[in-house]
Amino acid sequence: MKTYDLIIIGAGPAGLTAGIYARRYLLNILIIGKSYGGTITEAHKVCNFPSEEEINGFELGSKMIKQAEALGAEIKSEKVEDIKKDNDEFKVKTDKGLYKTKSIILAAGRKKQKLNIPGEKEFLGKGVSYCATCDAAFYKEKTVAVVGGSNSALTAALLLSEYAKKVYIIYRKDKFFRAEPAWKKQIEKNKKIKCIFNSNIKEIHGKESVKEVLLSSGETLTLDGVFVEIGAVPDETLTKKTDINTENGYIIVNKKQETNIKGIYAAGDLTNNPLKQVITACGEGAIAAKTAFDELKKGD
């Protein structure tokens, strides 16, 4: 069983930045993540990351991976199933192996929320999607809807408008409260996009693929695709198996990204810090790596 100084669980911006910093400290590390680059790779455009006026999310994630690997970070595409404390070390069990480590950074991020309505599960991959970046090209000259009112929903609609002939944004409130003004302005200017406020999708209908949706108003809307962008929740797969303190599912950390368990740190979207952005995830990853390094040095 191979032993590492540090295992980072999550290969998104927080985990990769932690890996970059940890390798600069010459720590022997392993980054484990099912999704290389994390959910940022699904972003159509990232316009608020320093040095990049505008960049595709996949490209940004790829750059981070390349930098981490260039510094000697070992990255594995595996699913972590369990973490157990073993004296002063930890055992990390994945679907492919077992590893030992002196410290852990949890950076697994969040998972997308679902509508939990009839037809959503049945038509997954047949008109229902959670990733506009992945599937937009399949809807050339078709009619689609985006459900949600956040930045992710608006940017998904803008991307889809480059392919589809018509894009509806269906949002449960009377206006966009959470989205940035810059994205709202682009939505207003786009003639392909129509906003339906104060509405929800109640059911998704079709045969072999999506054909229409039933709205909360009782009206039906003919569609070829439904893109769900209603936010995300912290991935509690591992925190529920440990004694890590959480707040509404988010891991409680201090200014040094420490959890209540010595040797386990957390960074990125799954922490209880308020701003969930790629830049803050990177910052938290850097802090967590520095804290881990300082603690490991004490044991030398």
Residues that are catalytic: 131, 134-135
Residue 182: name the closest of 212, 155, 217, 200 by CA: 155
Residue 103 CA to residue 263 CA, distance in Å, equals 5
Give kind and range of the element (H or E) at residue 295. helix 278-298
Report H helices in 27-144.
Answer: 57-70, 132-135
Nearest 5°: CA angle at 127, between 124 and 133?
Answer: 90
168 in Cβ contact with 144 (< 8 Å): yes
Bridge-partner residues for 215, per DSSP?
A: 201
The answer for residues whose C-beta is within 8 angstroms of residue 149's C-beta and 6 or more apart is 169, 171, 172, 173, 176, 177, 178, 179
